[in-house]
Amino acid sequence: MVKIATWNINSVRLRAPQVERFLAEQSPDVLCLQEIKCVEALFPHEVFAKLGYTHRAVHGQKGYHGVATVSRIPMREFGRYDWQDNGEARHVGVELLGDAAGAARGMIIENVYIPAGGDIPDREANPKFGQKLDFLDRMTRWADTLDRPTLLVGDFNIAPLECDVYDHKALLKVVSHTPIEVETLGRLRDAHDWVDLGRKHIPAPERNWTWWSYRTFWQEKDRGRRLDHMWASPDLARQSVAHRFVEETRRWEQPSDHVPLITEFDL
Rounded average pLDDT over 245-266: 95
The domain that holds 135 is classified in CATH as: 3.60.10.10
Mean pLDDT of the chain: 95
Where residue 98 falls among pLDDT bands split at 50, 70, 90? Answer: confident
| Share of residues in the chain with pLDDT > 70 (%) | 98
Is the pLDDT at 219 greater than 60, yes or no? no
What's the domain count of the chain? Answer: 1
Q: Out of 131-135, 173-177, 197-201, 220-224, pick the least confident.
A: 220-224
Residue 220 has a pLDDT of: 63
Residue 217 has a pLDDT of: 54
Is the pLDDT at 218 greater than 90, yes or no? no
Its domain, for residue 24, covers 2-265
Residue 185 has a pLDDT of: 98
What pTM did the predictor assign?
A: 0.96
Distance of CA 91 to the CA centre of its chain: 10
Q: How many CB atoms lie within 10 A of CB 142?
A: 17
Is the pLDDT at 267 greater than 90, yes or no? no
Is the pLDDT at 216 greater than 90, yes or no? no
Is the pLDDT at 11 greater than 70, yes or no? yes
Rounded average pLDDT over 234-252: 96
Rounded average pLDDT over 129-153: 97
Is the pLDDT at 103 greater than 80, yes or no? no
Residue 99 has a pLDDT of: 80
User: Is the Cβ–Cβ distance between 120 and 103 less than 8 Å?
Assistant: no
Rounded average pLDDT over 34-43: 97
